[in-house]
Amino acid sequence: MKKIVATGTFDILHPGHVYYLEESKKLGDELWVIVAREKNVVHKPRPIVSEDQRLEMIQSLSCVDHAVLGDMDDMYKPIQEINPDIITIGFNQKWSEDKLKTEMHERGIQSEVVRIGEYCGSPFTSSTKIINEAISRRTWAVPDKSDKITTLIDFIKGKGGEAVLIPAEDVVTGEWVLQKCLFGCSGYGHRFGCPPYTPTPSETKKVLSGYSTALLIKFEGDVGVATPERVVSRRMTRYVQQVMYDLEKMAFSFGFYKALGYTGHQCGWCAHCPAKEKGAKITDCVNRTKMRPSMEAAGIDAYATCASVGWKLDILTCTEVEGGSVLDSPMTTVMLLLIE
């Protein structure tokens, strides 16, 4: 008898989950499903549905022969106990096939690893999409607010970007982000939009607690021409910062009086910034009405926040050339608008 193992969180069961499991069952005789423990879900926001309820839902599917909860301490232990012939992976699961094979072989399990393709028969094939749609439809108790949110999103699309409504609680902060600014960025302290002039991660976390919804925004590439001296063009920096300034003003005019933006890149409003001068204070900034810190400058973990909506940010790498360096791939600029 050929045994198949499939794994997942299965938060808010949808047709994409069912397709993944049905296709997995076709590969063998007996389908085992391992449902992730809540404490072990660290690569995305914690599940809304409890692990016992998620397990019960998976057990109710006709294609599933056995369903168990994952191990609290060793994610590979249940797989080792089942000893499957095949392990299947969903099309958007973050597993590395090679890493999984290596781990299994080290434990004496010679399982084949198969990635199941994407299901395209329904618009709602991810829990995140379902949650976002629910937020956009149900959050707004005051008439016309949903239309105003759509207008804000359309404004970003018209500027060449992408925007999605998210719960403010999905915005992730981290003390490590400030450390990366301090020890990993040559621009530290050179602009009023950078630390140490910007809110700390803990201060930003307190601000986020006063909001329920936000718009997460991204732009791909560069609208200008980068040079070895500057891997992102000044034109791109000014472009996205003007977009955020206009977006925040628009949201405020719509009645979202708490609207507050976090832009992308170091501040580019002035050619010279007195931030690095001795005794400089944030009130010395002549463009504070327009200047906003980037997400990272305020201690926001852009990678984890984007992961909550399924946006995967690749690590940027550069190639050294004469006069500086150039990016090996286009940069993704990520920004955030807190709404209310």
Q: What is the pLDDT of residues 199-251, one digit of tens each?
A: 999 999 999 999 999 999 999 988 778 777 777 888 889 999 999 999 999 99
Q: Are residues 314 and 261 in the same domain?
A: yes
Predicted confidence (pLDDT) at residue 140 exceeds the cutoff of 70: no
Average pLDDT of 139-161? 79
Q: Are residues 67 and 185 in the same domain?
A: no
Q: Which of 115, 149, 173 is the last residue of a domain?
A: 115
E-assigned strands of 62-205? 66-69, 86-89, 112-115, 162-167
Determine the pLDDT at residue 141.
40
Determine the pLDDT at residue 41.
82
CA atoms within 13 A on the CB side of 155: 20
Q: Are residues 300 and 278 in the same domain?
A: yes
Q: Cβ(33)–Cβ(78) under 8 Å?
A: no
Q: Are residues 212 and 257 in the same domain?
A: yes
Average pLDDT of 65-79? 92
Highest mean pLDDT: which range of 109-123, 131-145, 261-275? 261-275
Determine the pLDDT at residue 97.
81
Determine the pLDDT at residue 137.
64
Determine the pLDDT at residue 128.
75
| Domain ranges, residue 256 | 127-338
Confidence of residue 139 (pLDDT cuts 50, 70, 90): low
Number of domains, the chain: 2
Q: Name residue, tokens 């998620």.
A: 54
CA distance 224 to 230: 11
The answer to whether residue 232 is domain-embedded is yes
Determine the pLDDT at residue 138.
56
Q: Which of 65, 83, 115 is the last residue of a domain?
A: 115
Q: Which residue has the higher pLDDT, 3 or 182?
A: 3
Q: Cβ(45)–Cβ(113) under 8 Å?
A: no
Q: Are residues 254 and 169 in the same domain?
A: yes
Q: Which residues contact 162 (CB under 8 A, 6 or more apart)?
A: 156, 217, 218, 219
Q: Which two tokens stand for residue 25?
A: 């069952």
The answer to whether residue 266 is domain-embedded is yes
Q: Are residues 100 and 196 in the same domain?
A: no
The answer to whether residue 120 is domain-embedded is no
Highest mean pLDDT: which range of 39-48, 56-65, 106-115, 312-321? 56-65
Average pLDDT of 44-60? 89
Average pLDDT of 30-45? 86
Q: Are residues 69 and 150 in the same domain?
A: no
The answer to whether residue 121 is domain-embedded is no
Q: Are residues 298 and 318 in the same domain?
A: yes
SS (H, E, C) 78-112: HHHHHCCCEEEECCCCCCCHHHHHHHHHHCCCCCE
Determine the pLDDT at residue 63.
96
Phi, psi of 321 (to 5 degrees): -135, 175
Q: Are residues 214 and 319 in the same domain?
A: yes
Determine the pLDDT at residue 118.
87
User: Average pLDDT over the chain, rounded to whole?
Assistant: 89
Q: Are residues 88 and 146 in the same domain?
A: no
Q: If you compute the radius of gyration of the chain from its CA atoms, what whole number of angstroms results?
A: 23
Q: Are residues 102 and 148 in the same domain?
A: no
Determine the pLDDT at residue 106.
87
The answer to whether residue 194 is domain-embedded is yes
- The CATH number assigned to the domain holding 65 equals 3.40.50.620
Determine the pLDDT at residue 98.
83
Tell me the whole-structure pTM to 2 decimals.
0.62
The answer to whether residue 122 is domain-embedded is no
Q: Which of 71, 94, 115 is the last residue of a domain?
A: 115
